[in-house]
Every structure is written in structure tokens, then in C-alpha cells.
Amino acid sequence: MTANQRSTYNAVAEALRRHFGSVFQAEVYREQLKGRIRQQEEMVTVLSRDAFIDALEDQQVQIYVKQVHPADVQQTLARAMEFEAFLYTTTAAVTPHHSFAAQKPPRRYLPARRTQVQQERRRHTSSAAVGYVFCVIPRHSEDLETLSRLGMRGARTSGRPEVKEFSSQAGEKLERSLSS
């Protein structure tokens, strides 16, 4: 290209398109880079460093390692491990796509396990033992007193309906008193 041709944007852009091809050839160049083999003058350490960086799954880690410009694979590995440690210890930066985030059990695991244990306990106790019945408590204070006598725990006479816990024996008494 002559100096005159290099002075305009359109001329430079057209020369680059002719040399490198269209935008749609990016995938071709990417595959060429993946299948790249060592050049005559290229050092093995540079090739191994580049291959290691390209093999990292997390793009954030790749960018961080590239910004450090490590000289060899050992430095590359050290920087990648350091950055992953930063991501792991910084709770705001941890996202589900990190492999170490998948190692932690999900938060919903514990309540599910607690429910399973409670269900097992209910199966192994007799019907007269401690099972629970939940019901809505009426607004009237007379009914609250009646329910309290039948075995309600933590009765409040606030005048508004609320859900309360009864022992199974109290539930049976309540059922009998309502049916009579």
C-alpha cells in the first residue's frame, strides 16, 4: 500500500478485508489456532503456556492470566490458581458457572433433609405419640380458651385468626368436641 492509500480509512479497511477475509471467517481462524503446532523458532514454553490458557474454562480467569503476561507454564498455573482462589473466597464473585461453586450443596438441601427426617419420625411413632395437627384458630376468645384447654400450645388471644400447632391428642379431643 502506498502512503496515499494508507491515509484513508476506507482504503485501509478494504486492504484488511482482502488480507484477512470476511467477518464470518473468525471460526476458521479460531480452529486454526486450536490446531496450531509449534513453529520453528517458537519455544515450547510459549506453546504450552498458550495451550494452557486456551484450555481454561472460565473466561474471567483467562483474561486475568493473559493480563499478567506470564513467562512460562508455572507462572501461568500459579496466576490461574491465585485468581480462582480470589473468586472462591469472594462470595460476591462466585457464580454457578464456576466448577467450585457446584461442589457446595445447594441451600435447599438442608430443609429437604429436615423434612425427610421429620417424616421418618412420624412413621416410627404411634398415632397417640407426638404428631402435630395444624388448624386456624377462630377470633372469639371463648373458642380460644376451649382450644387452650384441649392442649393448644402457645395460645394468644389477640382477636385475629392465626395458625397454631396442636398435639395429635389435642386434635382428637377437638374433633370429638366439635362433633358432639
Q: Are residues 144 and 86 in the same domain?
A: no
pTM more than 0.85: no
For residue 144, give its domain range. Answer: 109-179
DSSP 128: T
Q: Are residues 116 and 96 in the same domain?
A: no
Residue tagged 476458521 (cell numbers): 28
Q: Choose between 34 and 148: higher pLDDT.
A: 34
| pLDDT level of residue 15 (50, 70, 90 thresholds) | confident
Q: What is the pLDDT of residue 79?
A: 92
Q: Which of 2-6, 28-32, 154-158 is least confident?
A: 154-158
135, 164 Cβ separation under 8 angstroms: yes
Q: Are residues 10 and 85 in the same domain?
A: yes
Beta bridge partners of 162: 137
Q: Which of 103, 130, 154 is the last residue of a domain?
A: 103
Q: What is the mean pLDDT of residues 159-174?
A: 55
| pLDDT level of residue 58 (50, 70, 90 thresholds) | confident
Distance CA 98, CA 93 (A): 10
Distance CA 161, CA 134 (A): 13
Q: Residue 54 class from Cβ within 10 Å (0-12 exposed, 13-18 middle, 19+ buried)? A: exposed
Q: Are residues 69 and 149 in the same domain?
A: no
